[in-house]
Each structure stands twice: as C-alpha cells, then as structure tokens.
Structure 1
C-alpha cells in the first residue's frame, strides 16, 4: 500500500503527559556527548537560572517519538517501518526542556510528497508544558520507500 496522501491535515490526540526526569536528561546528555555541566549538574543549571538540569536540544525527540508511534500505528497510513528512514529533523524552541517538566505532544501531518515509488512525510509535534505553554515544535521528515 502506498503512503496515504489523505494523511495531510490529520491531527492526532495529545500524548499522555511525560515527566522529564533528571536521570533521563543525564543519560541522554551522555549518549549524545553533551558535556556542558547544565545537562548533568543541578547547581550548574541553577546558576544559569534554570530550576534543574537542562535537556540537550535533541531531547525533544524522546517526546516526539511518542507521537510518531501514533502515526506508525495508523492502519490506513501506508507507512511500513521496515521501509522508513528518518530523513530530517528540526526543532523550534520557545524555551529549553528542564527536568521536572511535564510535557504533552500533539502530532499533525503537514505534508506527503511522492518521491519515486515512495513518499516523504512531514510531521510537526507541538510540545507543551503542564500549563499548556509552548516549549518546542519538533518537525520530522520521514522517507518511506515504495513497495517492489
């Protein structure tokens, strides 16, 4: 089944709240070699004006992944994980993610473009804090290979 062009404009339900943990931020920072002390040391983060450790910018992928799982589970999407490559990623921040944040995300599909036998699917996940304030928009482009 080819990628469904009717995905464009589809919005998904907000994810369950994700509580950003200090150890998760530290683990992620180590994994991506983010060595600035504000990522691992609460005192260093507080000295910069933050309540706790600050997540590296790409940490938003952890929350965005919850939304992409919704897309991959859509029975009419035409997207098969085994034919999918994460082609591009962008983040537009209002403020950094900090340990203690409780974040929800809502995915919207903003584009489906045919590429050969496959397609490129663009999605935007709006990530908000517990007060409903915007934290970051994570934009992904998935390249979906066509069937033989």
Structure 2
C-alpha cells in the first residue's frame, strides 16, 4: 500500500524521459529540429542529450489512473472539458532525466455559466522535479465541469 498523499495533493507520477518516447513525440507533433532525434545535433546545440518536445510531460497521463483522479475531485467525467494547459520550463527535459510530478489543486470555484446554470472550474498545478529534487517544469491545467443539462 502506498503512503497517503499530503493535503491538497491529488496525485504523484514519476517516469524516465526516454529517447524513444521523445522520438514518438517529435513525429506526433511534426517537429523537424534534429536536436530532438540526433544526439550529436543535440550536443552541438549545447544539450547533454536529445531534449524532449515542449509537451512531453503529457506522457504522465499514461502513468496515472485518470479515472481515480477525476473521481477523487468529485467531478463527473462526462461533463469535464479542459479549459487550458500551460507549461513553464525551468530547464529543458532531456533523455535520461528521471522526473517526479506532484499535482495539487490550487483553485476550485463555482461560476455562473453564460447560458445559465453553474460550472465548476478546477485549477491544478503539477511541479516536476528531477532526480536531484530540482524543479524543472510546472504545468497548470484548468478543468471545467459543465453544469447538468436541463
């Protein structure tokens, strides 16, 4: 059994940043810069290894139990949409990095919808730290739970 999470923490995830996964993201996002696929080009550009594409942290979704996460917030998955996602990089992620992401609720409010009814807006922040415990990426997600249809 895992240790309980501290108050306000929704979940934790950890994974290795792998060259193969970086290559997959490079293809999926039509990224053409060879620094993401060629270690020599990456070194020539000043990186220790191939850097991940900017949206690479979405691989965490494959490591998480998304249903349990939504349920833990009391959200109705069928009514949830993503309002926005913002990444703030403190340094590039590169192949060989090991990161741990801790996701917290930073805001949870009810708002009146433009077409009547209420909606719930939940803002989450995930801070990813490297193997030395240094922050490398902060991710902010805004989830919107639409009100029930009348």
Task: Give the corresponding residue for 1:14.
Answer: 12
Q: Name the residue aligned to 2:128.
A: 127
Gaps of 5+ in 1: 1-8
* Conserved 8 A contact 1:61-1:138: no
* Higher RCO (CA-CA < 8 Å; seq separation 6+): 1
Q: CA deviation at 1:65?
A: 6.6
Superposed CA RMSD in Å reads: 2.0
Pick which of 50-59 and 19-28 moved more: 50-59
Query: Which protein is richer in helix relative to its size?
Result: 1
Q: 2:99 aligns with which of 87, 98, 103?
A: 103
Alignment-derived partner of residue 78 in structure 2: 82
Cα offset for 1:13? Answer: 4.8
Aligned-pair CA distance for 1:62: 2.1
Q: Closer, same or farther in 2 for the Cα pair 1:127/1:68, shift >3 Å?
A: farther
**TM-score (norm: length of structure 1):** 0.83
Distance 1:87 1:61 in 2: 16
Aligned residues of 1:52 and 1:99 also touching (Cα < 8 A)? yes
Indicate if the aligned counterparts of 2:11 and 2:104 stay in contact, CA closer than 8 A.
no
Aligned length: 137
- Where structure 2 has 5 or more consecutive residues not aligned to the other structure, the ranges are 1-6
| 3-state SS in 2 of match to 1:143 | strand
Match of 1:137 in 2: 138
**C-alpha separation in 2, matches of 1:64 and 1:104:** 13
Secondary structure of 2:147 counterpart = coil
Which digits, 9 at most, give the CA deviation of each residue in 1:82-109, with x for residues without a partner?
2111110111111011111111100110
Q: CA deviation at 1:146?
A: 1.9
- Alpha-carbon distance, 1:39 to partner: 1.1
Structure 2 length-normalised TM: 0.82
Cα deviation code 1:109-129 (max 9, x no counterpart):
011121332211100000011
